[in-house]
Amino acid sequence: MRKRISSGSPFEAEIGYSRAICCDGWVFVAGTTGYDYATMEMPDAVEAQCANALATIARALKEAGASLDDVVRVRYILPDKADWPACWPATRAAFERARPAATMMVAGLQEPEMKIEIEVTARLPG
């Protein structure tokens, strides 16, 4: 059985994707940027964008019946690799228990104000 989860982002309908998909005990969370989806505002600082992205991911996982502690794989995408170390305190706090396999890539993102995008895969507990 497949379950779709939305964050309420207008991009989901415009582009044609879900924030997360639950399928066969897995939760696949789409690349998530630093928007505050309640206000559709993007903070300037990469640290704040990282924190917003992680909070959006945590909400999607909770709706799926999982948490950040259930994450087994994480991908970080940043346009500027110099921004990456500033994100470490937030990523360490989010994943200190799960310690998922991780990759950081440098690539352009959809909008110029986006400084980080995070994608995760989690295994539902039990």
Please give the share of the chain, as a percent, with pLDDT higher than 90.
83
Question: What per-residue confidence (pLDDT) applies to 112?
Answer: 96
Tens digits of per-residue pLDDT, 23-80? 999 999 999 999 988 888 999 999 999 999 999 999 999 999 999 999 999 999 999 9
pLDDT at 1 over 80: no
Question: Are 19 and 6 a contacting pair, CB within 8 Å?
Answer: yes
17: helix, strand or coil: coil
Strand order in the sheet with 20-23: 2-5, 20-23, 26-32, 117-123, 71-78, 101-106
Question: Are 76 and 118 a contacting pair, CB within 8 Å?
Answer: yes
Phi, psi of 87, rounded to the nearest 5 degrees: -85, -20
As a whole number of angstroms, the distance between CA 122 and CA 40 comes to 26
**Mean pLDDT of all residues in 83-91:** 98
Question: What per-residue confidence (pLDDT) applies to 40?
Answer: 84
Tens digits of per-residue pLDDT, 101-121? 999 999 999 999 999 999 999
Strand 101-106 relative to strand 71-78, pairing: parallel
DSSP one-letter code for 33: -
Q: At what angle do helices 84-95 and 46-64 cross, to 10 degrees?
A: 30
Which residue is it, tokens 């309640």? Answer: 38
